[in-house]
Amino acid sequence: MPNDVFKVEVTVYMGFDDSGDEAFRTVWSVAEEMLDKYGIWIDVIPVNVWIYDPMGISNPDLPRVDINGRTFITGRAPSREELIDIILSIASNRGGKPGKEIAIAAVIKPPGSFLDAVMSAA
């Protein structure tokens, strides 16, 4: 990957409900769009809270979306427009430059867990 590609890390914390799944699907879809339209590489990191803390699955703050380590959305799935606005704002504030990469990937691998999957789209 060229050094001039702007990278963003989006972590989606999910419980055991449909809103977490919706949040992850929205983030994944936006990540593909951001790469295609703007050349912004997004690392999508899904975290299933119920794997680590089964009692925390009904947490009202889930789903939660963190972007570059900062919480932006809690308690609901984000809209596509909302995510795109936030990511473009972050990119413009840091001088992000479009790149030409055509791959995106997410890895789910909680430490000490049986769960290990890789998803990618080109």
Q: HSE-up of 9 (CA within 13 Å, CB side)?
A: 9
The structure tokens 């979306």 sit at: 65
What residues make up the domain containing 53? 6-121
DSSP state of 116: -
What confidence score (pLDDT) does residue 16 get?
Answer: 78
* Cα dihedral 84/61/15/40 (nearest 10): 20
CATH number of the domain where residue 64 is located: 3.40.30.10
What confidence score (pLDDT) does residue 25 get?
Answer: 96
The number of distinct structural domains making up the chain is 1
Cα gap 74→19, rounded to integer Å: 11
Tell me whether residue 1 is in a domain.
no
Tell me whether residue 107 is in a domain.
yes
Q: What is the pLDDT along the chain (122 residues), one digit of tens a residue?
A: 555 678 999 999 998 789 999 999 999 999 999 999 999 999 999 998 876 665 655 566 889 999 999 999 999 999 999 999 999 999 888 654 443 333 344 445 555 554 444 444 44
